[in-house]
Structure 1
Amino acid sequence: GVLLAVGLKIADHKSELPSPLVGREMPKFTLPLLGQEDVIVDSDQLIGEPMLINFWASWCVTCRVEHPVIEELAERGVIKIVGLNFRDETDDALAWLDHFGNPYSMIVQDYSGRTSIDFGVYAAPESFLVDEKGTIVFKQLGALTTEVIEQEILPRIGKQGSMAP
């Protein structure tokens, strides 16, 4: 009974768990673009401007809940949003994007899950705010919310203000 209670307590506050990667350089990766396996993206190419890396998958129910928040952020145009498709089938991921919309600047595919492991991702969705030098400055476990974007992400990239229309 005690272990279960502790587990529930942690689950309540999972978005607050610290990540050993915060303050460190993001793990390097070389991954194909989703649906364009012949186009390889090296993580070093992404450094130079702040970005939000969002781990998602078509099979992830919570990703559907989070998706409108990411679309709202993308519409503001204040930060590059890189989708990292996590242990997913290409056709399923592309169909999901066709249905729900594609807010990402680019999407790389981590079919094997190796890059996700390097980032310490346990389940989708998870997001990492990376500064222009490639340093992880914030990690969100679970779905991004408007509040998290306004209170944690926008201030860290020097973009104050409300996401309200």
Structure 2
Amino acid sequence: MSRFKLFIPLIVFAVLGLFFWKGLSLDPTRMPSALIDKSMPEFQLPIVKDAQRRVTVEDLKGQPSLLNVWATWCVACKVEHPYLNKLAKQGVMIFGVNYKDDTKSAQEWLAKLGDPYAFSVVDADGRLGIDLGVFGAPETYVLDREGVIRYKHVGVVDERVWQEIIQPIMQRL
């Protein structure tokens, strides 16, 4: 029995090694969402550019679109932003969720870096983010014309992500 105790650390090390090896093979941008093929959560929030104007999930309906979760404190969002501007100029409908951010900073960001959003809602307390299952910014959701979530992308949307993943989904909608 005492000889068996000598092998316990080796067995524990081997089991941990298998878990770490498996973890290395996972795609960090693949984040499952319980909301795929479900309607957008209900909300009524002000928009960044005009706090007096409130919008709801009904304002997202009408055509396939992207819903982009962003913030001024998010470094990756700054990397992604020029590409979102490019997509908007190409006619892609993009809505924004300004997540747990200062509205004044968000207004300045959009004035300085361009505004790709049809509108961007203020989610100061993160409640909409919680309802969406947001892990952090940036995250982008593909919505169909009825406001049903068809895909969730965690991380920066760039040319490769757009061409290989998101654009084919939107073309099928």
The TM-score, its normalising length taken from structure 1, stands at 0.86
**Partner of 2:134 in structure 1?**
121
Most deviating of 135-144 and 147-156:
147-156
Contact 2:68–2:96 (CA<8 Å) still a contact in 1?
Answer: yes
Contact 2:71–2:99 (CA<8 Å) still a contact in 1?
Answer: yes
**Partner of 1:136 in structure 2?**
149
- Does residue 92 (structure 1) correspond to residue 105 (structure 2)? The answer is yes
- State how far apart, in whole Å, the 2-side matches of 1:6 and 1:98 are: 46
Alpha-carbon displacement from aligned partner over 1:52-89 (angstroms, at most 9, x marks no partner): 00000000001011111111111110x21001100001
Contact 2:80–2:158 (CA<8 Å) still a contact in 1?
Answer: yes
Residue identity over aligned pairs, in percent, reads 36
Bigger helix fraction: 2
Unaligned runs of 5+ in 2: 1-12
- State how far apart, in whole Å, the 2-side matches of 1:9 and 1:89 are: 36
Greater C-alpha Rg:
2
- Does residue 109 (structure 1) correspond to residue 140 (structure 2)? The answer is no
Contact 2:69–2:138 (CA<8 Å) still a contact in 1?
Answer: yes
Match of 2:42 among 28, 36, 42: 28
**Partner of 2:7 in structure 1?**
none
Give me the CA root mean square deviation: 2.2
Partner-residue secondary structure (3-state), 1:70: helix
- Does residue 13 (structure 1) correspond to residue 20 (structure 2)? The answer is no
Unaligned runs of 5+ in 1: 160-165
- Does residue 150 (structure 1) correspond to residue 163 (structure 2)? The answer is yes
For residues 6 and 65 of structure 1, do their structure 2 counterparts lie closer, same or farther at Cα, with a shift above 3 Å needed?
Answer: farther
Q: What is the CA distance between 1:6 and its match in structure 2? A: 6.9
Matched to 2:24, the amino acid is K
Q: How many residues align?
A: 157
Q: What is the CA distance between 1:149 and its match in structure 2? A: 1.1
Alpha-carbon displacement from aligned partner over 1:126-146 (angstroms, at most 9, x marks no partner): 010000011111100111121
